[in-house]
Amino acid sequence: MRVLTETRRTTLEGTSGDSSRARLAQRGPVLRSPSAGVSAGVGFFLADVSLKPLYANGAAVQILGYGAEAASQGAEFLQERIRSILRAERFALECSTTAFLSGKRRYVCRPFLLESPQNHARPPMVALVLERCPRDGLDLSEASRRYHLSRRERETIQHLMRGLTTKEVAECMNVSPNTVKQFVRLIMTKMGVTTRSGIIGKLLVG
């Protein structure tokens, strides 16, 4: 497994894996109820490159559908929710590990591109792992030393990890939104990334 622009690309190997994938695509979306398949609160979401869901375990449905009525948590709802988290209509290698809010809880979404070397004509799939952020937040001490981050830049990152908007970060830090944008630009320059999700992805993936 190798990392490509902060998105992990994985190959699907073996005949059984390919046949399972074919059956999955033929059946259409398989969405588990929130009570089924929940394992330590980790959500697993399988989609095509347009982010149309093919499978979601119970934890993924629960995380993505928090606050919405059960009747509305269908395939279209989950597709739009994932698109809003990744800030993309379709999956691309630029999509990286992203923080988001579900209710008051913070989660990270880790995207993986799945490709089969046995059948290049078959389109790839996307796997998304949804995990709860640590309650105490991310330890930025190592990143601070590596990227020479200032105290205010570290504070900005902690707010970004919470999924806050520029305006919300500005209110928390008692500065203007333009100042927050300047902090974010400085952080991106120091870390060698071009997006906010790239900042988080680099901190989480390394």
Q: What is the pLDDT of residues 39-97, one digit of tens each?
A: 447 899 999 999 999 999 989 999 998 877 755 678 899 999 999 998 899 998 777 77
Average pLDDT, stretch 27-42? Answer: 53
CA–CA–CA angle 49, 159, 66 (5° rounding): 55
**What is residue 120's three-state secondary structure?**
coil
Can 2-132 and 141-205 be said to share one CATH topology?
no
CB 45 within 8 A of CB 29: no
pLDDT given at position 96: 76
What does the alpha-carbon distance between residue 175 and residue 152 come to, in Å, rounded to a whole number? 11
Please report which residue ranges of 56-176 form alpha helices under DSSP H: 58-64, 75-86, 141-147, 151-161, 166-173
The residue with greater pLDDT, 115 or 136, is: 115
Q: Is the pLDDT of residue 127 over 50?
A: yes
Question: 10-14, 21-25, 55-59, 201-205: which has the highest mean pLDDT?
Answer: 55-59
Domain ranges of the chain: 2-132, 141-205
Torsion of CA 86, 92, 97, 100, to 10 degrees: 0
pTM of the predicted model, to two decimals?
Answer: 0.57
What is the pLDDT at residue 148?
Answer: 93
CB 86 within 8 Å of CB 111:
yes
Q: Is the pLDDT of residue 6 over 70?
A: no
Main-chain dihedrals φ then ψ at residue 94, nearest 5 degrees: -75, -15
Q: In the CATH scheme, what is the code of domain 2-132?
A: 3.30.450
Instruction: Supply the mean pLDDT for the chain.
Output: 76
- The count of other CB atoms within 10 Å of the CB of residue 80 is 13
Q: Which of 50-59, 121-130, 194-203 has the highest mean pLDDT?
A: 50-59
Q: Are 93 and 6 in contact (CB under 8 A)?
A: no
CA distances 202 to 3, 24, 74, 77, 170, Å, are 11, 32, 32, 29, 23
Question: What whole-number distance in Å separates Cα of residue 58 and Cα of residue 65?
Answer: 10
Is 1.10.10.10 the CATH classification of the domain at 141-205?
yes
pLDDT at 28 over 70: no
Instruction: Please state the rounded mean pLDDT for residues 30-37.
Output: 50
| Whether pLDDT at 189 is above 90 | yes
Q: pLDDT > 90: what percent of the chain?
A: 33
Alpha helices in the chain (DSSP H): 15-27, 58-64, 75-86, 141-147, 151-161, 166-173, 177-191, 196-205
* Residue 31 vs residues 104, 108, 168, 174: alpha-carbon distances, Å: 24, 20, 34, 43
pLDDT for the residue 181: 94
Q: How confident is the model at residue 168 (pLDDT cuts 50, 70, 90)?
A: confident
132-159 mean pLDDT: 82
